[in-house]
Amino acid sequence: MKILVPVKRVLDYNVKPRVKADGTGVDLANVKMSMNPFDEIAVEEAIRLKEKGVATEIVAVSVGPAKAQETLRTALAMGADRAILVQTDDEVEPLAIAKILKAIADAETPGLVILGKQAIDGDNNQTGQMLAALTGWAQGTFASAVQVEGDHVNVTREVDGGLETVKLKLPAIVTTDLRLNEPRYASLPNIMKAKSKPLDTKTPADYGVDTSPRVKTLRVSEPPVRSAGVKVADVDELVAKLKAMGVHS
């Protein structure tokens, strides 16, 4: 079985985002970029399925600028077999990405598509669900456990009330949550090997997808600064202040 793993190049999660002075977006100049953490989990899960003998090939895919090759090389160093970069400098929205992934899935015929539940920059949580709708495949979102059994995959989902396990007929779409696994670090030998692994470069036009935006960002701003707290002498003063604020037990 082939597994398709979409990955995204995003602002590193350890970096504090800075809003541009004109409020048009987040400043990405001279800052560290990395693979989206949820996508790292997706790559790791695909590798584990291959190590179990369930999968035979892992194909990493990214839609983004030329520098997204670095993100794909990270996936290859972790254990993916080959990669496809759909190169564009546009800010591609989830629906366009899902359409591109659908076209790639049609060409590659994977048994499973595993991707992060959301990207930490846009926080849309839409691409996996849209891809499932376009392909007509079953979907298991927010996965904390994945077990392939024959022509089905059992996915344990993290839902508001606890856990839910669903049985999906393959091919299927799975989006990963934080507790699914802990991604491995790429070893130096594997980083070197990744440099010679196949990486094809395509464009959205190759897949007949128009990436023109449907949503326009009007303004981006920092969250309001939290005001300083007030010290109180005792519990009675605290209760009095809470009552004055309209807080009741």
Averaged pLDDT for residues 182-204: 95
pLDDT of 126 strictly over 80 = yes
Domain boundaries, the chain: 2-244
CA nearest to 176, candidates 201, 153, 202, 158: 158
Give me the CATH topology for the region 2-244: Rossmann fold (3.40.50)
226 vs 81: which has the higher pLDDT: 81
What's the pLDDT tens digit per position in 43-71? 999 999 999 999 999 999 999 999 999 99
Q: How far is CA 2 from CA 57, 61, 125, 172, 240, in A?
A: 5, 13, 24, 12, 64
Interacting residues of 63 by C-beta distance below 8 A, sequence separation 6+:
6, 8, 86, 88, 92, 96, 97, 100, 204
Percent of the chain with pLDDT over 90: 78
